[in-house]
Amino acid sequence: MKPISSVSPLILVCLFLTEFHVTNARGLIKKACETSLHKGLCLATIKADRDYKGAKLHDLGQIVLKAATSNASALQKEVEQLLKERASTSVESALKDCKENYDDAVSQLEKSKQALEHKRYNDVNTWVTAAMNDADSCEQGLKESADKDSSIAQKTFIFGQLCSNVLAVTNKAAAGATRSV
């Protein structure tokens, strides 16, 4: 039988490495979100993804982009549903425009995903910004229509924040990539 003291150093090393990994992940997440205008949402979005532990800065960009894309897809479906429910009403035209806007936004975020996989950060910024502009166009159209209190408006606001976080995190990743080259 081995004495407990011979096992203890191994346990201590494992505990230290686990704590180091968790502390390092927290530090990287904080760094990734530090320039975001929506730090709380940025941190919560990353921590909500189970793959954030052990992720690198570039991977954190993929996590926030995935969240923005998922949000845009949900908005796209919601607009489609509203369009079915409100066909032949005064807001039908605005909803049709919103559907096109969110179709474009989802497509642009998918292009961003491909660009991010190849570390083409400028392309990511271009596509994410275009997606944000599409969402803004939808919101403006709804405000100008008779549907000023649309549930889409608040969700578009959150979508804009998610996209802003994508830009903040991928800009950090881009800055880190240029320093390591």
What pLDDT, on a 0 to 100 scale, did the predictor assign at position 80?
Answer: 93
Q: Which value, in Å, is the radius of gyration of the alpha carbons in the chain?
A: 21
Residue predicted with more confidence, 118 or 181: 118
Tens-place pLDDT, residues 64-111: 999 999 999 999 999 999 888 887 777 888 899 999 999 999 999 999
- Residues composing the chain: 181
Q: Would you call 90 helix, strand, or coil by DSSP?
A: coil
Quick one: what percent of the chain has pLDDT higher than 90?
59
What pLDDT, on a 0 to 100 scale, did the predictor assign at position 180?
Answer: 41
Which CATH number fits the domain that encloses residue 127? 1.20.140.40
Tens-place pLDDT, residues 105-134: 999 999 999 999 999 999 999 999 999 999
pTM above 0.85, yes or no: no
d(CA 88, CA 78): 17
What pLDDT, on a 0 to 100 scale, did the predictor assign at position 4?
Answer: 46
Residue predicted with more confidence, 174 or 146: 174
CB 167 within 8 A of CB 122: no
d(CA 133, CA 110): 16
What pLDDT, on a 0 to 100 scale, did the predictor assign at position 144?
Answer: 85
Residue-number span of the structural domain to which 29 is assigned: 4-180
CB 65 within 8 A of CB 113: yes
What pLDDT, on a 0 to 100 scale, did the predictor assign at position 42?
Answer: 96
Tens-place pLDDT, residues 153-169: 889 999 999 999 999 99
Q: Quote the number of domains for the chain.
A: 1
What pLDDT, on a 0 to 100 scale, did the predictor assign at position 120?
Answer: 96
What pLDDT, on a 0 to 100 scale, did the predictor assign at position 143?
Answer: 84
